[in-house]
Amino acid sequence: MTIHNTDRNHDALWLPFTANRQFRDSPRLLVSAKGMYYRDDKGREVLDGCAGLWCVNAGHGQPRIVEAVQKTVATLDFAPAFQMAHPLAFEAADRIARLAPNPLNHVFFCNSGSEAGDTALKIALAYHRLRGEGTRTRLIGRERAYHGVGFGGISVGGISGNRKLYGSLLTGVDHLPHTLDLRRNAFSRGLPEHGAELADDLERIVALHDASNIAAVIVEPMAGSTGVLPAPKGYLKRLREICTKHGIVLIFDEVITGFGRLGASFAAEKYGVVPDIMTVAKGITNGTIPMGANIVSDEIFEAFMQGPREAIDLPHGYTYTAHPVACAAAIATLDTYAEEHLFERAAALSPYFEEAAHSLRGAPHVVDIRNEGLVAGIELAPRNATTTRAYEVFERAFHEGLLLRYTGDIIAISPPLIIEKNEIDRIFETIARILKTID
């Protein structure tokens, strides 16, 4: 028998979005989770301040979800989705479609937000071609956007660190300006007052390329991974108006904002702006089993349902599309959200969460605080060092039993929707205390 030493085992694993050599010097290892808390390999409880990775909206170890997964894996561990289906896939799709605003009534399953993003772009391109407008191939993203790590997603995305190593990416892509405006909107509570006019830059892009060449615009209603950038008041409505005017498909990336994060089923519902395609993932299964989906409008779906009945209407999909165990987890997750009234709970807690977040105004190094629903971004002043202050806060917080997210100079907080007020207090009190100790 070959015995592998611990160091070699650590070398075998290549972690994503991680400084792997630095990590191996002091690994942070999680071994179990329940409710609001992880437990690490040293036996310490760690308060989950970021819902795992924006995904464990109902908290960890939800009994209904665990039971559904266990039962399904013992009954139907896999079923192909090519020319086949299973009852749980129909049920999950119906439940999700009924949760989405009309006319988003059709669900195409995949396995992640990244796959959902690339799938949405392909559906938009194919939709125009099927309608006889095959010249519509240009895709419009936004600066500082995150739409996953596929080539489509990083092409329309606007985070330079995710793009710089991979060459020219997709051609025919333009970007709208991001909406962060610290001069006018610093320390906004909820949606910023200023910036709706930034949507009008889409008219400039249309004038440059002509609408007949533009397929789709994809935006996050609230940019999460780049550091919590809520859309300014009126911005999404203006984008919808321009896209409708020019026949451009509007895609909302609701991978983070979906399933209660903002105190509603989706941002589209909360803001009363309905896209043509919505991408979702993360909270769809409470992070239990990988799953993503595209929720598509009636008009787009019907465009694919023309031609010979025996023809494949969308030559696209994945081995694990509508995986039975993922579908079971999704159904149980939606049941949990409904029975525990978690979306309503998030909405009710949002004012308290907002006050707690903004209590950090005036704390050392804090230059902006942004919040919406149960999510907040705390932006810190940059410094001339390899390690950002936000990383230091993340690292020290973990050693104090609190898990946060950081991106660049920004701390992101997005706890499970089951969080209690005393746990909200603990999150922001811990951050405040740590900020006083760093240079």
The mean pLDDT value for 329-349 works out to 98
What pLDDT is stored for residue 384 in this prediction? 82
Beta bridge partners of 46: 38
Three-state secondary structure call for residue 382: coil
Q: For 212-249, what is each residue's pLDDT tens digit?
A: 999 999 999 999 999 999 999 999 999 999 999 999 99
**Least confident span in 381-385, 395-399, 416-420:** 381-385
| Final residue before a domain boundary, out of 314, 339, 364 | 339
Cα–Cα separations (whole angstroms), residue 313 to 83, 123, 299, 323? 12, 11, 14, 21
What pLDDT is stored for residue 1 in this prediction? 34
235 assigned to some structural domain: yes
pLDDT category at 11 given cuts 50, 70, 90 is confident
What pLDDT is stored for residue 9 in this prediction? 67
Q: Is the dihedral of CA 13, 58, 225, 163 positive or negative?
A: positive
The HSE-up count of residue 117 (CA atoms within 13 Å, CB side) is 28
Cis link prior to 103 (omega < 30° from 0)?
yes
> What is the greatest pairwise CA distance in the chain?
68
The mean pLDDT value for 273-299 works out to 98
Contacts of residue 58, defined as CB under 8 A and 6 or more positions apart, other chains included, come to 65, 283, 286, 333, 336, 337, 340, 342, 416, 417, 418
The mean pLDDT value for 186-204 works out to 98
Helix count (H) and strand count (E) of the chain?
A: 16, 17
What pLDDT is stored for residue 2 in this prediction? 40
Residues 50 and 69 in one domain: no
Residues 177 and 324 in one domain: yes
**With 50 as the cut, is the pLDDT of residue 413 above it?**
yes
The mean pLDDT value for 145-157 works out to 97
Residues 50 and 163 in one domain: no
347 assigned to some structural domain: yes
**With 80 as the cut, is the pLDDT of residue 123 above it?**
yes
Residues 32 and 87 in one domain: no
Residues 319 and 352 in one domain: no
Beta bridge partners of 229: 223
The mean pLDDT value for 279-286 works out to 98
Please indicate, yes or no, whether the overall pTM of this predicted structure exceeds 0.85. Answer: yes
Conformation bin of residue 357: beta by default, left when phi > 0, alpha when psi is -120 to 50:
alpha
Residues 112 and 183 in one domain: yes
The two three-digit tokens of residue 175, written as one number? 């970007």
1 assigned to some structural domain: no
Beta bridge partners of 280: 293
Residues 213 and 349 in one domain: no
The two three-digit tokens of residue 347, written as one number? 């909405």
Q: How far apart, in whole angstroms, are the C-alpha atoms of residue 38 and residue 421?
A: 18
What pLDDT is stored for residue 361 in this prediction? 98
Q: Which single residue is written with the structure tokens 């300006």?
A: 177
**CATH number, domain with residue 165:** 3.40.640.10
What pLDDT is stored for residue 415 in this prediction? 98
Residues 237 and 371 in one domain: no
Residue 427: how many CB atoms within 10 A of its CB?
Answer: 24
**Shortest CA distance to 327 belongs to which of 84, 87, 100?**
87
DSSP 8-state code for residue 60: B
**Shortest CA distance to 52 belongs to which of 415, 347, 428, 425?**
415
Residues 169 and 144 in one domain: yes
151 assigned to some structural domain: yes
In the predicted model, what is the mean pLDDT of the chain?
96
User: What is the chain's Cα-based Rg?
Assistant: 22
| Final residue before a domain boundary, out of 339, 365, 396 | 339
Percentage with pLDDT > 70 across the chain:
98
**CATH number, domain with residue 407:** 3.90.1150.10
Amino acid at 340: E
Residues 353 and 216 in one domain: no
**Shortest CA distance to 26 belongs to which of 46, 47, 41?**
41
**With 90 as the cut, is the pLDDT of residue 353 above it?**
yes
Per the structure, the complete domain to which residue 378 belongs is given by 6-58+341-435
Beta bridge partners of 278: 252, 295
- Residue 158 near residue 175 (C-beta atoms within 8 A): yes
**With 80 as the cut, is the pLDDT of residue 10 above it?**
no
The mean pLDDT value for 3-32 works out to 83
Q: Which single residue is written with the structure tokens 């949990």?
A: 336
**With 70 as the cut, is the pLDDT of residue 5 above it?**
no
The two three-digit tokens of residue 36, written as one number? 């609001």
Q: Which single residue is written with the structure tokens 């440059």?
A: 208
Q: How far apart, in whole angstroms, are the C-alpha atoms of residue 363 and residue 380?
A: 10
pLDDT category at 4 given cuts 50, 70, 90 is very low
What pLDDT is stored for residue 8 in this prediction? 54
Residues 186 and 314 in one domain: yes
Q: How far apart, in whole angstroms, are the C-alpha atoms of residue 323 and residue 78?
A: 6
| Final residue before a domain boundary, out of 339, 356, 373 | 339
pLDDT category at 168 given cuts 50, 70, 90 is confident
Looking at the structure of the chain, the number of domains it has is 2
What pLDDT is stored for residue 386 in this prediction? 79
Residues 290 and 305 in one domain: yes
DSSP 8-state code for residue 333: H
**Shortest CA distance to 393 belongs to which of 420, 412, 367?**
412
**Shortest CA distance to 353 belongs to which of 421, 302, 294, 403?**
421
pLDDT category at 3 given cuts 50, 70, 90 is very low
**Shortest CA distance to 370 belongs to which of 31, 235, 380?**
380
The two three-digit tokens of residue 285, written as one number? 């299964």
The mean pLDDT value for 51-71 works out to 98
